[in-house]
Amino acid sequence: MTLQQQCRREHSLPALWRSGSTRFVGFVQFVPEIFNTAQPATDTPRRTFEIIKRVDPNETDHADSNKEFTMEPSSGLKKAMFSDATSVDWFEPLPGEKIGMRLESEHTGNAFSLTEIIVAPQAGPPLHIHHDADEVLFVLEGTVDFVCNNERFRTGPGGFAAMPRGVPHAFRNFENTAARMIVLLSPGGFEQVMPAMKGRPVSDFPSIAATYDLEVVGTQISPIDG
């Protein structure tokens, strides 16, 4: 099974995540054509994002209920929002990764976040796991290598990788020019680790990211021939 097949299958199934002693079930279907301006929009049916709050009466392990960051139920967008290409402040929370915050969780009722990232040559995060969010990365410019659950995938403009929560994954730009991507996280919340890293050394990333349910489990991915 290819990365795209796996992630599409995973993304169409109910997703379960934890926040303290509360569990949430979410359903989402991502249609990448909405980001691909080279293709006309289609009438592909889309399932809206739905959050259901459930508490397991048999749950006795509340060890993670004291996390600094608590995921809140999603309420979705309250109004239409518009932005042109220049309405964004760029900053570099990690070496080689410039971030532009497009839609934050506060704008979407925590349903999702949307950020833009410019990845310098040879840059990319260490292997990591989002324990409470699915992640979609849509390539706009350049070529990016992705690793997801021991599968490897390389793609250029118009390609994407969709990684389910709870699965080790990472990306890296092995080319000589920068790559640019749109990053969607569902539900939102983790994007706030980026401004939290402003002015901090990269060595602080694992501990700060852990408060947003991201676990660093390895290093940067290596070249295929490395």
Position 63 pLDDT exceeds 90: no
Phi, then psi, of 185 in degrees rounded to 5: -120, 130
3-state SS string for the chain: CCHHHHHHHHHCCCEEEEECCEEEEEECCCCHHHCCCCCCCCCCCCCCCEEEEECCCCCCCCHHHHCCCCCCCCCCCCCCCCCCCCCCCEEEEECCEEEEEEECCCCCCCCCEEEEEEECCCCCCCCEEECCCEEEEEEEECCEEEEECCEEEEECCCCEEEECCCCCEEEECCCCCCEEEEEEEECCCHHHHHHHCCCCCHHHHHHHHHCCCEEECCCCCCCCCC
Q: 73: pLDDT confidence band, cut at 50, 70 and 90?
A: low
43: its two tokens: 């009438």
Position 217 pLDDT exceeds 50: yes
Which amino acid does the sequence have at 210? A
Domain 84-216 sits in CATH at: 2.60.120.10
Cα(62)–Cα(206) distance, integer angstroms: 22
Cα(93)–Cα(39) distance, integer angstroms: 33
Cα(64)–Cα(92) distance, integer angstroms: 30
Q: For 33-37, 95-99, 112-116, 218-222, which range has the lowest pLDDT when averaged over its residues?
A: 33-37
Cα(226)–Cα(223) distance, integer angstroms: 5
Average pLDDT, rounded, for the chain: 77
49: its two tokens: 């994002």
Position 97 pLDDT exceeds 80: yes
Q: 184: pLDDT confidence band, cut at 50, 70 and 90?
A: very high
